[in-house]
């Protein structure tokens, strides 16, 4: 849906066959995710999935998400059925959802799908904890993928973040990523800077204490940094 599947797939294959691949990584060591742009119909979703597989050139897609709950109940359920069939046909390894609220997940589970969503990718960070959604996901074994885990740098200088970053001798970004991991989420930090990408991955050397986790949880102000379709019909 981001019109970059061909470029990303080509880059992955180029790397795997290059001298830069010093550890001998193979296709199965790479986790490639794509999405369905909109929920319209079963047929359109199946066509889109097949096109995504063809465009990326990787043989299959590791994780395929319904990008949002927009479209209505019937369309959501039809598109999930398309994901199930794509999994059966080997086009997708794992299916998931994105930006789904509790009512959308309840609706999907009530339909008794053959395959349950493995992931819900949604904006989550200390300033938008989405406790209701994340609790529901945990209760139903749906992994939370937290996009915008750094709140798009809008709260990096918040006094609490600054203070705790100093306490643990880490950057504000490292602190927020660690918060996400300790809640059991998979954070998806974004950067174009090599040094920041490396720093964002270097968060194993510390653990946020329980009382500080509660303090960070208390920063919730329902800060939405992009869009918020979790309550749509």
Tell me the catalytic residues: 2, 67
**Residue 177 burial by CB count (10 A; 0-12/13-18/19+): exposed, middle or buried?**
buried
* Torsion sign across C-alpha atoms 104, 109, 110, 111: positive
Given a cut of 80, whether residue 29 has pLDDT beyond it is: yes
Given a cut of 90, whether residue 3 has pLDDT beyond it is: no
- Give the closest residue to 173 by CA, choosing from 186, 189, 160, 195: 189
- Over residues 127-141, the mean pLDDT reads 98
**pLDDT tens for residues 159-218?**
999 999 999 999 999 999 999 999 999 999 999 999 999 999 999 999 999 999 999 999
**pLDDT tens for residues 135-164?**
999 999 999 999 999 999 999 999 999 999
Residue 35 has a pLDDT of 98
**pLDDT tens for residues 42-90?**
999 999 999 999 999 999 999 999 999 999 999 999 999 999 999 999 9
Residue 1 has a pLDDT of 73
First to last CA, the chain: 22
Residue 2 has a pLDDT of 79
pTM: 0.96
Residue 66 has a pLDDT of 98
State both tokens at 64.
Answer: 């395929």
Backbone angles phi, psi at 35, to 5 degrees: -140, 160
- Over residues 16-44, the mean pLDDT reads 97
């Amino acid at each position: 849906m981001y019109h970059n599947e061909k470029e990303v797939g080509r880059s992955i294959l180029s790397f795997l066959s290059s001298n830069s691949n010093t550890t001998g990584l193979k296709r199965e060591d790479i986790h490639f995710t794509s999405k369905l742009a909109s929920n319209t119909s079963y047929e359109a979703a199946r066509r889109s999935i097949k096109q995504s597989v063809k465009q990326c050139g990787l043989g299959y897609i590791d994780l395929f998400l319904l990008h949002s709950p927009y479209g209505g109940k019937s369309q959501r359920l039809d598109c999930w059925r398309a994901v199930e069939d794509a999994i059966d046909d080997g086009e997708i390894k794992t299916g998931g959802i994105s930006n789904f609220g509790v009512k959308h997940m309840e609706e999907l589970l009530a339909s008794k799908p053959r395959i349950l969503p493995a992931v819900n990718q949604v904006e989550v960070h200390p300033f938008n904890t989405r406790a209701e959604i994340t609790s529901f996901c945990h209760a139903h074994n749906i992994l939370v993928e937290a996009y915008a885990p750094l709140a798009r740098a809008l709260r990096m200088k918040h006094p609490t973040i600054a203070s705790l970053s100093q306490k643990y001798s880490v950057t504000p970004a490292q602190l927020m990523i660690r918060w996400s991991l300790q809640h059991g989420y998979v954070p998806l930090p974004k950067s174009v800077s090599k040094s920041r990408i490396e720093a964002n991955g270097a968060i194993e050397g510390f653990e946020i204490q329980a009382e500080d986790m509660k303090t960070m949880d208390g920063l919730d102000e329902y800060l939405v940094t992009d869009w918020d379709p979790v309550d749509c019909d």
